[in-house]
Chains A and B, each alone.
Chain A
Amino acid sequence: MNDKPVAEMSFEEAIRELENVVGRLEGGDVPLEDSIALYQRGSELRTRCDTLLKQAEEKVAKITTDGEGTPTGTQQLDVD
Chain B
Amino acid sequence: MDLIDDPTPGGNAPEFTVSELSGAVKRVVEGEFGYVRVKGEVGRVVRARSGHLYFDLKDDRSVLACTTWKGQVAGLSVIPEEGMEVVAYGKLTTFASQSKYQMNATEVAVAGVGALMAMLEKRRTALAAEGLFAPERKRALPFLPEIIGVVTSPQGAVIRDILHRLRDRFPRKVLVWPVAVQGKACAPDVARAIAGFNAMTPGGALPRPDLIIVARGGGSIEDLWGFNEEEVVRAAAASEIPLISAVGHETDTTLIDHAADRRAPTPTAAAEMAVPVRLELMAAVDGLGGRLRRAVSESVRGRRQRLTDLGRALPRPEVVLGGAQQRLDQWAERLPAALRTAVLKKRGALGEASAGLRPGAVRAGIAQRRERAERLGARLGPELARGAARARERLAARAERLRPALVTERTARAGERVASLAARLEAAQSGQGEARARKLESLSRLLGSLGYEETLKRGFAVVREGDEVVTSAARAKAAVGPLEIQFADGRMVPGGGAVKKKASPKAPPPEQGDLF
Contact = CB atoms under 8 A, between A and B. Distances in A.
B4 to A, nearest CB: 76
A64 to B, nearest CB: 9
A63 B285 contact: no
A7 interface: no
Contacts of B193: 63
A29 B137 CA distance: 43
The interface residues of chain B, by DSSP majority, are classed as: helix
Interface string A4-39: 000000111001001101100110101010011011
Contacts of A35: 296, 299
Contacts, number: 122
B292 A25 contact: yes
A56 B175 contact: no
Interface in B194-219: 196, 200, 206
B291 interface: yes
Given A12-B143, A46-B285, A59-B174, A28 B292 contact: no
B175 A46 contact: no
A74 B147 CA distance: 14
Contacts of A10: 142-144
A8 to B, nearest CB: 13
Given A25-B295, A57-B173, A18 B285 contact: yes
Contacts of B206: 63, 71, 73-74
B284 interface: yes
Nearest to B144: A11
A30 to B, nearest CB: 7
Interface string B363-407: 000000000000000000000000000000000000000000000
A71 B192 CA distance: 10
Interface in B152-190: 154, 159-160, 163, 166-167, 170-178, 188-189
B173 A43 contact: no
A12 B163 contact: no
Nearest to B167: A58
A1 to B, nearest CB: 16
Contacts of A42: 288-289, 292, 296
Contacts of A21: 292
Interface in B132-157: 142-144, 154
A63 B175 CA distance: 7
Contacts of B175: 61-63, 74
B281 interface: yes
Given A10-B143, A11-B281, A77 B176 contact: yes
Contact of A22 (B144, B292, B302): B292
Given A46-B285, A50-B285, A62-B178, A56 B278 contact: yes
B296 A36 contact: yes
Nearest to A35: B299
Contacts of A25: 291-292, 295-296, 299
A58 B135 CA distance: 33
Interface residues of B, number: 42
A69 B295 CA distance: 57
B337 interface: no
Contacts of B293: 39
B303 interface: yes
Given A30-B299, A56-B278, A62-B154, A79 B291 contact: no
Contacts of B335: none
B292 A46 contact: yes
Nearest to B195: A69
B171 A22 contact: no
B412 interface: no
Contacts of A74: 175, 206
Contacts of B174: 58-61
Contacts of A36: 296
A39 B296 contact: yes
Contact of A39 (B200, B292, B302): B292
Contact of B192 (A15, A22, A50, A69): A69
Contact of A63 (B144, B172, B177, B298): B177
A10 B281 CA distance: 13
Interface of A: 10-12, 15, 18-19, 21-22, 25-26, 28, 30, 32, 35-36, 38-39, 42-43, 46, 49-50, 52-53, 56-63, 65, 69-71, 73-74, 77, 79-80
19 contacts: A10-B144, A11-B281, A15-B284, A22-B288, A25-B299, A26-B298, A28-B295, A39-B293, A42-B289, A49-B288, A56-B278, A57-B171, A58-B172, A60-B176, A62-B178, A63-B206, A69-B189, A71-B196, A73-B206
Q: What 6 A-B pairs are tightest by C-beta distance, nearest first?
A: A58-B171, A12-B143, A25-B295, A39-B296, A42-B292, A49-B285
Interface of B: 142-144, 154, 159-160, 163, 166-167, 170-178, 188-189, 192-193, 196, 200, 206, 278, 281-282, 284-285, 288-289, 291-293, 295-296, 298-300, 302-303
Given A21-B292, A28-B298, A57-B173, 18 more contacts: A11-B143, A12-B143, A15-B281, A18-B288, A22-B288, A25-B299, A26-B298, A28-B295, A32-B299, A39-B295, A42-B288, A53-B278, A59-B173, A61-B175, A63-B178, A63-B196, A77-B159, A80-B160
